[in-house]
């Protein structure tokens, strides 16, 4: 029995370590919601059953968010019977406060976000996204006025990815027709003529030195990921999308259990 358990344990730990690389840019690490892409938006009657937090976030978003805004998310996803927090792991390696990125769109009176997770691209009501128990904190940034012209084409790119259900990119490659979360956002704006960030080789991420040599060798042996391949990341003050100088802070890092006060931006929504 001890031999069988040791074999199983080693296999589980190998899977955990091998997964570190494909969690570095986020997406898997966030796991904010497990809805299928075909889930529909809530109607007025359904909102009666929303929790207070969800309703407050919905109200704040309705009054303060614009199409094209970027939602940076820190969430929690655990594996191996809950013993390993993958979101924390990928956040530390990338030296970022975030593990996921989504794009806001105002459509038919609703505030929705487009993103992609392991199940594929989604169109999710903002209130439901933020109120999910596995989402801890969010922040929002907005393109400066002179770059707002890029928003419609970026939204169209996200909508097309959602409608075609573009496959999730588990290898985090930039030269294929699959997408991971940060790549969707980056390519959407590049499609609109506005690069948000430069790709960064995995082995040049700020926290790469924290990964042990045995783990690096295991990743190379167990996955198709190369440690020098380039990826897009949510980032921090100096790297990734967050560092883009054309993005202005709309909402600083906020615990989702404490929605901000609903302050209408009269210039944007008269």
Burial of 145 (0-12, 13-18, 19+ CB in 10 A): exposed
pLDDT tens digits for range 96-130: 888 889 999 999 889 999 999 878 999 999 988 88
Number of domains making up the chain: 1
CATH of the domain at 199: 3.90.1720.10
H helix intervals, the chain: 2-23, 44-47, 52-64, 86-94, 126-131, 151-164, 181-191, 213-222
Residue 57 belongs to domain spanning: 2-255
For residue 228, being part of any structural domain is answered with yes
Nearest to 136 by CA among 222, 226, 243, 257: 257
For residue 162, being part of any structural domain is answered with yes
For residue 267, being part of any structural domain is answered with no
Task: Give CA torsion, residues 31, 198, 244, 26, to 10 deg.
Answer: 10
Q: What is the pLDDT of residue 176?
A: 85
Strand, coil or helix: 55: helix
The residue written with tokens 């809950």 in the block is: 82
Cα 113 to Cα 63: distance, rounded to the nearest angstrom:
15
For residue 100, being part of any structural domain is answered with yes
For residue 264, being part of any structural domain is answered with no
For residue 90, being part of any structural domain is answered with yes
pLDDT tens digits for range 47-94: 444 468 888 999 999 999 999 999 999 876 553 344 445 556 666 667
pLDDT tens digits for range 200-256: 998 898 888 877 777 677 667 766 778 788 989 999 999 999 999 999 999 999 999
For residue 28, being part of any structural domain is answered with yes
Cβ neighbours for 227, distance < 8 A, ≥ 6 positions apart? 21, 201, 202, 203, 216, 219, 220
For residue 268, being part of any structural domain is answered with no
Residue 172: which pLDDT band, with cuts at 50, 70 and 90? confident
């Amino acid at each position: 029995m001890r031999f069988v358990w040791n074999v199983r344990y080693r296999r589980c730990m190998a899977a955990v370590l091998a997964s570190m690389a494909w969690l570095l840019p986020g997406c898997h690490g966030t796991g904010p919601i497990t809805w299928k892409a075909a889930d529909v938006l809530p109607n007025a009657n359904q909102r009666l059953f929303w929790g207070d937090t969800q309703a407050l976030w919905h109200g704040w978003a309705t009054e303060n968010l614009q199409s094209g805004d970027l939602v940076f998310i820190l969430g929690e996803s655990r594996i191996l019977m809950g013993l390993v927090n993958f979101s924390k792991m990928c956040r530390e390696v990338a030296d970022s406060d975030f593990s996921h990125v989504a794009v806001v769109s105002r459509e038919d009176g609703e505030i929705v976000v487009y993103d992609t997770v392991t199940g594929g691209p989604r169109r999710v009501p903002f209130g439901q996204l933020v109120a999910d128990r596995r989402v801890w904190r969010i922040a929002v940034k907005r393109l400066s006025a002179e770059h707002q012209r890029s928003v419609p084409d970026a939204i169209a790119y996200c909508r097309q990815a959602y409608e075609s259900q573009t496959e999730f990119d588990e290898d985090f490659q930039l030269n294929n027709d699959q997408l991971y979360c940060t790549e969707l956002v980056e390519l959407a704006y590049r499609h609109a003529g506005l690069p948000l960030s430069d790709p960064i080789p995995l082995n040049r991420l700020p926290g790469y030195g924290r990964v042990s040599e045995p783990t690096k060798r295991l990743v190379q042996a167990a996955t198709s990921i190369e440690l020098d391949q380039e990826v897009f990341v949510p980032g921090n003050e100096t790297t990734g999308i967050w560092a883009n100088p054309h993005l202005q802070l709309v909402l600083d890092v906020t615990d989702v259990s404490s929605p901000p006060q609903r302050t209408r931006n009269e210039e944007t929504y008269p």
